[in-house]
Amino acid sequence: MGILEVRNVSKRFGGLQALNNVNLTVEQGSVHAIIGPNGAGKSTLLNCFVGRLTPDTGSVMFDGHSLLGAKPHQINQFGVSRVFQTPEIFTDLTVLENVMIPTFAKRDGAYKLNPLARVSQETEVRDHAEATLSDVGLLDKRKMVASSLSRGDKRRLEMAMCLAQDPKLLLLDEPTAGMSRADTNRTIDLLKQIGESRGITKVIIEHDMHVVFSLAQKIAVLAQGTVIVEDVPENIKGHPKVREAYLGE
C-alpha cells in the first residue's frame, strides 16, 4: 500500500472525458512524476487530490483518509500541500509574513483562546518561518515585499509557504515552468534537499524531462486521461507507447 492510492478515478467535463479510470500508487517518501502531453489531464488529476474537483467515480486515499468530498482545508490538515502552476503568494506582504501566515493557519485553533500562548507562539512561528526560509535560500530576502521578488524567488517562496506547514505530501504542478535553466537546476537541488532532510513524499507534474529524470523514482505517463505506462525512469525512456503519446502533440 502506498501513502497515496488512486483507484479508478474518472472525470468528465461535458462531452470531454478528462480522466478515464486512473490508477496510481505513490510510495511513502518517494518522488512520483506524472508526465504527458498538453491536455492529458495532469492538472485535473491533481485538482482531484486537493478538493478543487470531485471525480465522477473512483477513490483517492491518502494516509488513511479519503480525499474525496473533503474540503481543501481538511485535506491540508491531513498533510497535503500544493505548489500551483502560477505562484499564489500575498504580493503586498513581506517574504517572512508570507511564510508566517500558513504556519499560523495550521496552528490556528491552538492559540486563539490564550493570548499569552499566542505571544510565545508568534516567536515560535517566526522562528519556524525563518528556518523554512533558510531551507529554501530566501532568509536574506525576508524583509522584502513579495511582489519585488524575481520569478524564481517567488516560486521558492511558494515552496516555503508549503513547507512551513510540514506537509507529508507535496504536490507540484510544473514547478519549473517559465524558469531559466539556472533556476530550474536550483529548484532540482532544492527538491532533492527537501527530500533528504524532511522525507516528504512528492508528486510532481513536469514537462521538463531533465527535471523528471533528475528527481523521479517512478513515472506515470498520462495520455488522454489514461495512465498508459507507470514504471521506473529507466523503462520510460524510449518506451514505444510514450513516444507514440508525445508524437501526437
Which residues sit at the interface with ligand ADP, rule CB under 6 A?
Answer: 13, 16, 18, 36, 38-44
Q: Pick the piece of the chain touching Mg ion (CB under 5 A) from 35-43, 75-83, 148-156, 220-228.
A: 35-43
227 in Cβ contact with 42 (< 8 Å): no
Nearer to Mg ion, 43 or 132 (CB): 43
**What whole-number distance in Å separates Cα of residue 235 and Cα of residue 105?**
42
DSSP 153: H
Report strand pairing: 169-173 vs 80-83.
Answer: parallel
The CA dihedral of 132, 191, 31, 46, to the nearest 10 degrees, is: 70
143 in Cβ contact with 130 (< 8 Å): no
Nearer to Mg ion, 38 or 197 (CB): 38
Nearer to Mg ion, 52 or 73 (CB): 52
Q: Report in angstroms how near the CB of residue 63 gets to ligand ADP at its nearest.
A: 24
Interface with Mg ion: number of residues (CB under 5 A): 2
Nearer to ligand ADP, 34 or 96 (CB): 34
Q: Report in angstroms how near the CB of residue 96 gets to ligand ADP at its nearest.
A: 32
Of 31, 43, 50, 51, the one binding Mg ion (CB under 5 A) is 43
205 in Cβ contact with 46 (< 8 Å): yes
DSSP 226: E
Q: Report in angstroms how near the CB of residue 69 gets to ligand ADP at its nearest.
A: 18
Q: Report in angstroms how near the CB of residue 249 gets to ligand ADP at its nearest.
A: 10
- The number of helix segments (H) and strand segments (E) in the chain equals 9, 10
Q: What residue ranges bind Mg ion (CB under 5 A)? A: 42-43
